[in-house]
Amino acid sequence: MTLSAMQITDLKYEKSDAIAWVRIDRPERRNALGDTTTRQIAQVCQDAAHDPAVRVLVVTGVGDAFCAGGDMQDTFERGRDMSAQQWSDRIRNGPNVLARLLQTLDKPVIAAVNGVAVGGGTTIALACDLRITSDQARFCLPFARIGITPEFGCSYLLQRVVGLGRAMELLLLGEFIGAETAERYGLVNRVVAHQDLPQATLQMAQHLAALPAEALARIKQLQRFAQSNGLDATLEQEALSLGQCFTSEEHRAAVARFLSRKPR
């Protein structure tokens, strides 16, 4: 389904100065993921991926929450009569699609965590490349407490971001942690004052948008490749990637700009 063919009801989606902003817009439900929210996020991310004018993608929430996870009423209550197979298919066609898309997108993806991030809210942020967060944000992975297991690639991503021990702690205990603890665990990259988050996010996005897009895409590809391959294979990929970069117009333009600078 194309973006024009899909009704975007749960999001605000806008593009400005090479940056695409995806704002989950269900503040009355603390931006919980409704029946179609995940698919809508995936659709707008696809649109950003294929738009050459977009160089950076930002995911955030409207109001005082980033995302409160799955909507208990809209998602779980309506799914009470679904079979195990139906639930598995729903996960394959929703969370799995979005997590894979965010991880493989050739453009940098920033999660701007403006408030509480519970369950799917934390795991969506994990699937992004960079996480900048308000000092008022809180994180929780309460899957065990409600008798389910993680989604959005959390089992793959979390231990790679914070280590296996911390991942076990966060998943088995299901406790809330604050922004400073999240930063100490390595769950987020930066914590800023709540009122400064919009400007700090914009500055980060603008910085990335000004960098050579091909180099950023290849850097992302190399990091993902190295996660599941050994040193020799990674060295070969680096050689191939550098060969392409050294012959690119973006590299030549960057070198020309560097050489044109006046010596101090």
pLDDT in tens, 137-170: 999 999 999 999 999 999 999 999 999 999 999 9
Structure-token pair, residue 4: 């024009």
Q: Are residues 218 and 192 in the same domain?
A: no
Any domain includes 4: no
Any domain includes 69: yes
Q: Are residues 91 and 193 in the same domain?
A: yes
Any domain includes 166: yes
Mean of the pLDDT values across residues 79-98?
Answer: 88
Q: Are residues 152 and 245 in the same domain?
A: no
Structure-token pair, residue 170: 């966060």
Helix ranges, the chain (H): 37-50, 84-93, 95-104, 120-127, 154-162, 164-173, 179-185, 197-209, 213-227, 231-246, 249-259
Whole-angstrom distance, CA of residue 41 vs CA of residue 61: 12
Any domain includes 101: yes
Q: Are residues 114 and 202 in the same domain?
A: yes
Instruction: Reply yes or no on whether the pLDDT at 4 is more than 90.
Output: no
Any domain includes 264: no
Mean of the pLDDT values across residues 41-62?
Answer: 96
Instruction: Reply yes or no on whether the pLDDT at 184 is more than 80.
Output: yes
| Residue 74 CB contacts under 8 Å (≥ 6 apart), including other chains | 29, 32, 34, 35
Q: Are residues 90 and 65 in the same domain?
A: yes
Q: What is the per-residue pLDDT for 75?
A: 73
Q: Are residues 179 and 220 in the same domain?
A: no
Mean of the pLDDT values across residues 15-37?
Answer: 93
pTM for this predicted structure: 0.90
Mean of the pLDDT values across residues 41-52?
Answer: 95
Instruction: Reply yes or no on whether the pLDDT at 118 is more than 50.
Output: yes
Residue 263: pLDDT band (50, 70, 90) is low
Q: Residue for token digits 């439900």?
A: 29
Q: Are residues 242 and 118 in the same domain?
A: no
Mean pLDDT of the chain, nearest integer: 92
Q: What is the per-residue pLDDT for 264?
A: 47
Structure-token pair, residue 183: 């930063």
Residue 183: pLDDT band (50, 70, 90) is very high
Among the candidates 168, 193, 209, a domain finishes at 209
Please, is 51 exposed, middle or buried when counting C-beta atoms within 10 Å of its C-beta (0-12, 13-18, 19+)? middle
Mean of the pLDDT values across residues 81-106?
Answer: 90
Mean of the pLDDT values across residues 160-184?
Answer: 97
Q: Are residues 50 and 125 in the same domain?
A: yes
Domain count, the chain: 2
Q: Are residues 66 and 184 in the same domain?
A: yes
The separation between the first and the last C-alpha atoms of the chain, rounded to the nearest angstrom, is 55
Q: Are residues 80 and 200 in the same domain?
A: yes
Any domain includes 2: no
Q: Are residues 193 and 226 in the same domain?
A: no
Q: 65-67 and 130-134: which strand pairing?
A: unpaired
Mean of the pLDDT values across residues 169-183?
Answer: 97
Whole-angstrom distance, CA of residue 61 vs CA of residue 30: 9
Q: Containing domain of residue 39, as a range?
A: 11-209
CATH number at residue 101: 3.90.226.10
Q: Are residues 105 and 156 in the same domain?
A: yes
Q: What is the per-residue pLDDT for 61?
A: 97
Any domain includes 6: no
Whole-angstrom distance, CA of residue 28 vs CA of residue 39: 20
Q: What is the per-residue pLDDT for 6?
A: 55
Q: What is the per-residue pLDDT for 5?
A: 46
Whole-angstrom distance, CA of residue 141 vs CA of residue 170: 6
Whole-angstrom distance, CA of residue 102 vs CA of residue 48: 11
Instruction: Between 2 and 229, name the one with better pLDDT.
Output: 229
